[in-house]
Amino acid sequence: MFAGLTVELREIVLKNKPAQMLAVSPKGTVPVLELAGGDSSERFVIEESREIVEWALQQSDPQGLLNTDLVSANALIDRNDNEFKHWLDRYKYADRHPELSQLDYRKKGEVFLQALESLLAKNRFLLGANISIADIGIMPFVRQFAHVDREVFYSLPYPNLQRWLRGWLEHPVFLQVMVKCQPWQEGDELVVFPRTTTITLKCSSEVNASK
């Protein structure tokens, strides 16, 4: 969306992975992006969220999401991916991880939230006055954390983080991305997203993934 590129969107349900998806990406995880050139030998696949985002912004970055301290941005995203997501998963599914209580998992996740709160106390966005790749890389996971128990999240002493998250939940780009599509089946009518024309890609994502 921020890059202004167009994708052929194929929503899938991970419990029912289509053979076409597994042929493109045997790894079987989402999202997966297949870049389709004019010659099949030119096609290649990107299977990691951050790499997909980076690739898209390298093609087009009209809002300058890469015009930031990329060392700091990548360090923050690394911490999100390697530390925060670990505790988020256990907070969401505490019954699967009885080693600690859900409260314990929440508190461990809050260590990262406190770091974000400190950044947002100084700036509107994580790394400055403008949106950066760090914001779009981290926001979906903070949203997941908040939605485990919204009442608890908004009672925590993180007013700047809460303001930041609310802003994202009301952002036109977020609202457009969250429009639901039916799971893809072979023979379905092509779903182009968003409805502009720039380049042709194929993108698979799970229904309600990261929601």
CATH at residue 195: 3.40.30
Domain that holds residue 43: 7-63+179-206
Q: Quick one: pLDDT at residue 208?
A: 37
Instruction: Tell me the pLDDT band of 193, cut-offs 50, 70 and 90.
Output: confident
> Above pLDDT 90, what percent of the chain?
58
> Above pLDDT 70, what percent of the chain?
89
- Same domain, yes or no, for 103 and 164? yes
Q: Quick one: pLDDT at residue 131?
A: 95
- Same domain, yes or no, for 148 and 108? yes
pLDDT above 90 (res 6): no
Count of domains forming the chain? 2
Whether residue 211 is contained in a domain is answered as no
Report pLDDT digits (tens) over 128-170: 999 999 999 999 999 999 999 999 999 999 999 999 999 999 9
In angstroms, the CA 139 to CA 147 distance is 12
Q: Is 146 or 180 the better-scoring residue by pLDDT?
A: 146
Q: Quick one: pLDDT at residue 158?
A: 98
pLDDT above 60 (res 211): no
- Same domain, yes or no, for 104 and 41? no
Whether residue 142 is contained in a domain is answered as yes
Report pLDDT digits (tens) over 95-127: 999 999 999 999 999 999 999 999 999 999 999
pLDDT above 90 (res 65): yes
User: Which pTM value belongs to this model?
Assistant: 0.83
